[in-house]
C-alpha cells in the first residue's frame, strides 16, 4: 500500500503548489491491530491509486451494480452493508490510515468478498480512476461540514464535485448524502439545485427519511443522543 494520499503538484519553476483539500493530513494514531490488518489484507481488498480508469471486471469477482462510498470512517457500516447486499459490489474511499486498517479488519472478520477500498484523495480518485457511467450509487455519509465560514472552501460537496459525480453515475443512479449539520445540508441543496441532471427524491424537494439500508453508525448514535438531527438527501440522475 502506498503511503501518499495526494498527488503533489508543481509549477513550471518546480515550486510546490499548495492545494485546498476537504481533509487535513493529520498523523492520527494507527493501532497495532490496524497496521496488522493492512499488512495482511491490503493485497486482497485494497486498490492502489492510479492515473488510469479502473476495470471493475478485473477487481471484482462477479459482475454486479457498483456502489461507491466516499469517506467510510472505520468501515464498520460499509462492511455490514456489503454483507447485507451480496448481489452488489462496493468500493470505498478513505484518506485516514486508521480507517483503512479498521475496515480491512472488519472485512476479513466477516469474510467479505464484494468489497474493495482505496486509500487516496476522493477527488483525484473520481477524476482518474472511476470510469464514466459505471456507478449505480454514490453514498457520502457525514462528510466534514467545515463549520467556520472561512473553511467552507474545504467542503467536499461543492457544485464542481457534485457535477463530477453526474458523470460517474449511470442513468437513474442514486446520490445519497447524510449529515448532522443543518447548515451543510442546506448548503448542499443550494449547490446542487442548478445541476439539472439531479432529481431530488424528496416530496418537498429537500430531505428524505433515512432508508433502512443505511446502517446507523456509532458516530450517528452519539449525535442522536446529543439531540442532533440527521439530514438524508437523495438524488437520482436523469438524462
6, with CB counted inside 10 A (0-12, 13-18, 19+), is: middle
Is 203 marked within a binding site?
no
CATH of the domain at 222: 3.40.50.150
Q: Is 42 a member of any domain?
A: yes
Q: What is the pLDDT of residues 107-142, one digit of tens each?
A: 999 999 999 999 999 999 999 999 999 999 999 999
Does the annotation list 191 as a binding residue? Answer: no
Where on the phi/psi map is residue 161: left (φ > 0), alpha (ψ -120 to 50), or beta? alpha
This prediction has a pTM of 0.89
Q: Within a domain: residue 95?
A: yes
Q: Binding residue per annotation — 228?
A: no
Domain assignment of residue 152, yes or no: yes
Residue (of 100, 98, 101) closest to 26 by Cα position: 98
Residue the block writes with cell 429537500: 206
* Residue 110 lies inside a defined structural domain of this protein: yes
The secondary structure element, H or E, covering residue 41 is helix 32-45
Instruction: Give the domain range for residue 167.
Output: 32-237
Q: What is the pLDDT of residues 35-70, one digit of tens each?
A: 999 999 999 999 999 999 999 999 999 999 999 999
User: Is 26 a domain residue?
Assistant: no
Instruction: Check whether 23 has a pLDDT greater than 70.
Output: no
94 is in an annotated binding site: yes
Q: Looking up cell 418537498, which residue turns up? A: 204
- Give residue-wise pLDDT tens across range 139-186: 999 999 977 877 588 799 999 999 999 999 999 999 999 999 999 999
In a domain, 23, yes or no: no
Alpha carbon 112 to chain centroid, angstroms: 18
Residues noted as catalytic: 144
| Tally of domains in the chain | 1
Could you tell me if residue 11 is inside a domain?
no
Per DSSP (E only), the strands in 105-185 are 115-119, 135-141, 169-179
Q: What are the backbone angles phi and psi of residue 191, rounded to the nearest 5°?
A: -70, -30
Round to whole Å and give the CA distance between 189 and 138: 16
Distance between CA atoms of residues 227 and 239, nearest Å: 39
Does 194 count as an annotated binding residue? no
Sequence-distant (6+) residues with CB within 8 A of 228 are 180
Amino acid at each position: 500500500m502506498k503511503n501518499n494520499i495526494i498527488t503533489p503538484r508543481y509549477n513550471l519553476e518546480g515550486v510546490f503548489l499548495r492545494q485546498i483539500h476537504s481533509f487535513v493530513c493529520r498523523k492520527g494514531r494507527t493501532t497495532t491491530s490496524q497496521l496488522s490488518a493492512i499488512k495482511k489484507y491490503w493485497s486482497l481488498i485494497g486498490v492502489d491509486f492510479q492515473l488510469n480508469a479502473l476495470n471493475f471486471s478485473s477487481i471484482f469477482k462477479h459482475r454486479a451494480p457498483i456502489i461507491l462510498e466516499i469517506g467510510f470512517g472505520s468501515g464498520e457500516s460499509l462492511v455490514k452493508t456489503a454483507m447485507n447486499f451480496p448481489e452488489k459490489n462496493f468500493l470505498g474511499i478513505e484518506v485516514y490510515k486508521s480507517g483503512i486498517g479498521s475496515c480491512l479488519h472488519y472485512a476479513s472478520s466477516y469474510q467479505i468478498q464484494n468489497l474493495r477500498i482505496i486509500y487516496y484523495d476522493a477527488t483525484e480518485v473520481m477524476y482518474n480512476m472511476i470510469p464514466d457511467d459505471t456507478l449505480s450509487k454514490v453514498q457520502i455519509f457525514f462528510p466534514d461540514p467545515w463549520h467556520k465560514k472561512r473553511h467552507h472552501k474545504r467542503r467536499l460537496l461543492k457544485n464542481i464535485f457534485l457535477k463530477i459525480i453526474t458523470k460517474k453515475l449511470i442513468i437513474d443512479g442514486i446520490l445519497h448524502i447524510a449529515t448532522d449539520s443543518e447548515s451543510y445540508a442546506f448548503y448542499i441543496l443550494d449547490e446542487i439545485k442548478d445541476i439539472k441532471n439531479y432529481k431530488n427524491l424528496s416530496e418537498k424537494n429537500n430531505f428524505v427519511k433515512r432508508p433502512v439500508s443505511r446502517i446507523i453508525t456509532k458516530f450517528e448514535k452519539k449525535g442522536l443522543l446529543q439531540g442532533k438531527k440527521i439530514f438524508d438527501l437523495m438524488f437520482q440522475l436523469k438524462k
